[in-house]
Structure 1
Amino acid sequence: MTAGPVGAERVEEPKVPPTPVQTPPRPPIRPRKPKVTVRKVLILAALSAFTLLFIYPFIWLLSASFKPRGEVFDNKLIPDTFVFENYINVWREAPMALWMWNTVFVTVLAAVTVTLSSALVAWGFAYFRFRGRNLLFGVVLATMMLPGAVTMIPVFLIWNNLGMVDTLTPLWAKNLFGSAFYIFLLRQFFLGLPRDLFEAARIDGANNWTIFSRIAVPLTKPALIITMIFEFQVAWTDLLQPLIYLRDSSNFTVPRGLKALLDQYGFGGNWHWEIVVTASVITTVPMIILFFLGQRHFVQGIATTGTKG
């Protein structure tokens, strides 16, 4: 609008649009490359060396299982002659299927029973407040100081009087009474849970069993899985108890069966070591699969053990 004489018409000036500000284009953001230092290279080399050191026995065992009898101990990781019939012969020479079933039966029952019983005891020590609680918990932990050889004969006499020798029951039924190590492990997890959550559930009418089963147990799932994995590994590889309690070969577990194969085909004079190493591979593979299936829970459970919220 321009000012003019009185009575003259006002002429509007055309509006000029503002000139947009030209922003210079930004250079593309490139991801920062991790800085490689001598320290990182040394750490990586050390980890790789220890990894090879730990997996070398299994690699050797796997390689030996594909070798003929005369080449089992030639210490070559790549066999000169691959013999796939070893994995067929081992099922013919020994009742591996029956031994595997016995082992699965024992390990599953042992893992489930010790997890449930230990969780109940640990929940009692973590949630309830009573006189002498810490003293009683110390007594439970003190049982870990007793070597297994101290209680071996009395426990055997108990099972013998019950008529359970040469059965699979002594291999898993002892876990009905829990384990001091697992009680300690699970108690630490229960102590890390907020107590106000349990008090709120009690106000809503939940009883002790409901609080334990519907609140505490789901929140400690990693610890329970770790307990089951630990006990599964212990029961799967246990040789001492099957040697004490099992007599009939139809009741053998895999470790007891491997001992029988070693006595028959190894030191017994037949020298069929390819059968022994092949059976050992078949025994080891399930543990490797179990670890990879529960690896996430395993790492999570170990990382949070002993923390308190």
Structure 2
Amino acid sequence: MVAMNEDRTKKVLISYAVTSGPLAICLICCLCSYKMAFTKNLRAHAGERIYSPLFPLIAYSYRNIKYLYIMFFVFGICSGIYLSMGVIGILRIFSLEMFFGMSWAITLYVATYQMVISIISIHRFISSHQSPELRRDPTRKNVFLLIVFVALLMIFKDIGIGAWMLVLAFGKDFRLEKLTTVMLYYSVVYITRQILLFIATIFQFCISEAPKSHSEYCVVTDAKYIGLVKIILGTICFASYLLNFEITIASTLFFGIDMFLVPVVVQITEIRANPNVIIPTEIQLEPLIV
């Protein structure tokens, strides 16, 4: 039993390193180019003549990639050095605490960004099938409140699950089956969020209208590529469960890739974007004749 668990742990670590390692390297390599591209495209994001309602989401993603991931790598390297050298003291504890704190903050950012772009994509699909007179684009305030609401929702979800695990861990009748129930609940919540992303991705491919701003172009592209990758990995994971073949590796790929997939897609989208070819258009409201 112990040997089986060790073998499963090795598979998880190897599969996660093989998939997330290249993405992490790509994230680091693209960081400087992403900063320069964002600065260059900042006027297109904010807009001179056309109000860009999705800019708060773009800025939220930029700040998280710029600060959280840098601190994550710095404290991760420091923690690894302290552990390998056998250093015992406040520096080691501080580095480990900051590393795990940054990991949780990044997980929160990734979950929030996926949820927000999913909701915006579904709203865009519904709006595209309405007449121009009935369309209502979200405002900056709407997008900002949506980010705050989703982020708070994710925070309370993590706090609830963490408190649940602590109660079970320090309870008198602790059993591993109860902890498995908590993880199953977490997986169900995660899969529900991914299904929303899948729906948003399919809707984006069904919209023929071009984005009205550079910010909308970035959100549309991110939703398409992040969702497409997760659909492929989700299909592989589901097939592995049905065939009972390498379930651990498939689950690790599906559940663990978000941490680096989302920022890499955001970076590449911003770097490859050419806002000069995106011509913002205004919707002119006309009286509806019934």
Return the TM-score normalized by structure 2: 0.28
For CA contacts below 8 A with separation 6 or more, give which structure has more relative contact order.
Answer: 2
